[in-house]
Structure 1
Amino acid sequence: MDMTERGPTKVTRNAPLADAEEAGDQRLGETVRLLRQRAGLSIQDVANRTGLSTGMISQLERARAMPSIRTLRLLSVALDVPISYFFEDSAAPAPQRYIVRKNHRRLLRLTSSGVVKEALTPAGKGELEFYELTLNPGGSSGTDFVQHTGEKAGYILSGSLRLWLDHEAHVLEAGDSFRFPSIVPHMFDNPTQRVARVLWVTTLRRSDPAPD
């Protein structure tokens, strides 16, 4: 076992898990860089579109930093791709157009945020995205409120989710659900010592402006 510091807390990880996470970080950085280059954008262009610093974008592309969910949402809007483009490809022999098998979900591990997102919708652009979120104790969407067009909805499968809407906290337990316009400033976290699992739906609009 070795001690690896990733994010604000120090955790113990075995070597295979650490190697897998490092590979995931590298793949995510390469994806961001390739999408940026394909769009003919400089790092400064992306910084202007997202409000992120050029240093943050450069570090992310070089796998020196892990993004929050808010950062990925900003990048998805700036690069005109669904957030699912940043997910790991599954080991499926051939993707299906309309169906996602349980063992073939694409994954996005936000290690520093304590969040794992599993895509429940097939790859490609559409009007909505559907995820299963796993939040470790203390996991969160980030430290800033976000807002954009569209709607979000969800259902708590297990554990607890604290959903902040317009700076008001709502603690949701297993069996609770929600829906709200995405223009409402929002964020979420797991303030408990138990893992939380949430079904999460987001509607997409290609004309969405970058959130503030």
Structure 2
Amino acid sequence: MKARAGSTILATPTTPGAARADDSASDQRLGECVRLLRQRMEFSIQELGRRTGLSTGMISQLERGLATPSIRTLRLLSLALQVPISFFFEERPAERGPAPHYVVRRAQRRLLRLTPSGVLKESLAPDAPGRMEMYELTLSPGGSSGADFVKHQGEKAGYVLAGTLRLWLDHEAHLLEEGDTFRFPSTVPHMFDNPTASPTRIVWITVPTAP
């Protein structure tokens, strides 16, 4: 497991067994969230599979907390279930009281740990309704958005805070370093990874097309 301390990723003193338990609890929470959203939309597992392109077996495993999705899988689920990806994030305890309606305190960022993908995702946008999604992504060495390209309506942009990001756009790789930025239509097939031995931190912005 990893934990944020300032701007550095540090190993926590938890044992491997405790780390696995934390990951399992996170997977169970995420799976329950997907199941409740699917039922709210009155979709069968087969229908959700058709709308996302995911197998019914994968969706069943996710809902039972037996698998951890990639960022690509979460994006497909969020589009089909008509919620932002931040809907799947963990709540953080309010250490300084409720934040103002348009403000997110650092200690109150909602988290999403995708441990097998090597990704820690923190929501930077308030929960108030709005189209723009904004996150801070931390990619562990070798971390990635998934093995496949994804595309959808909308636009994406970002800023590399630290480390190296390899951004694949229409099957062409772009190596971005600290201080580099990007913006592209989400209809361009894309994926990303961290090909280095050091963590990478990125501010990532998504603006889905209005329905």
TM-score by length of 2: 0.89
- Matches for 1:107-126 after TM superposition, within 5 Å: 107-126=111-130
The answer to whether the 8 Å contact 1:126/1:204 transfers is no
- Correspondence for 1:210: none
1:135 aligns with 2:139: yes
- Residue in structure 1 matched with residue 20 of structure 2 by the alignment: 18
SS in 2 for 1:138: coil
The C-alpha deviation readout for 1:22-42, integer Å capped at 9, x for no partner, is: 111110000000111111111
Shift of residue 95, structure 1, vs aligned partner: 5.5
User: 1:180 is paired with a residue of what secondary structure?
Assistant: strand
1:24, 1:154 → 2: CA distance? Answer: 27
- Work out which of the residue numbers 100, 104, 108 in structure 2 matches 1:104: 108
Cα offset for 1:43?
0.6
Sequence identity, in percent?
64
The superposition leaves residues 89-118 of structure 1 with CA deviations (integer Å, 9 ceiling, x where unpaired) of: 111254542110000000011111100100
Paired with 2:27 and 2:99, the residues of 1 have a C-alpha distance of 23
CA distance in 1, matches of 2:100, 2:22: 26
The answer to which structure, 1 or 2, has the higher relative contact order (CA under 8 A, 6+ apart) is: 1
Q: Which residue of 1 aligns with 2:40?
A: 38
Instruction: Compute the displacement of 1:171 (Å).
Output: 0.5
Alpha-carbon deviation of 1:206?
4.3
Q: Distance in 1 between matches of 2:124 and 2:71?
A: 17
Q: Distance in 2 between matches of 1:192 and 1:76?
A: 29
Aligned length: 196
Displacement after TM superposition at 1:14 (Å): 2.9
Alignment-derived partner of residue 160 in structure 2: 156
- Normalized against structure 1, the TM-score is what? 0.88
Q: Distance in 2 between matches of 1:20 and 1:179?
A: 35
RMSD, aligned α-carbons: 1.4
Gaps of 5+ in 1: 1-11, 208-212
- The change in CA–CA distance for 1:172 and 1:13 in structure 2 (over 3 A counts) is farther
Aligned partner of 1:90: which letter?
A: R
**Which residue in 1 is equivalent to 2:194?**
190
Q: Answer whether contact 2:101 2:126 (CA < 8 A) is retained.
A: yes
Aligned runs of 1:86-97 on 2, under 5 Å? 86-92=88-94, 93-94=97-98, 96-97=100-101
The CA deviation string for residues 117-151 of structure 1, in whole angstroms up to 9 with x for no partner, is: 00000124411100000000000000111111111
Contact 2:99 2:105 (8 Å CA) reproduced: no
- 2:79 paired residue number: 77
Check conservation: 1:90, 1:105, Cα contact below 8 A. Answer: yes
Distance in 2 of aligned mates of 1:40 and 1:166 = 35
Counterpart residue identity of residue 64, structure 1 = L
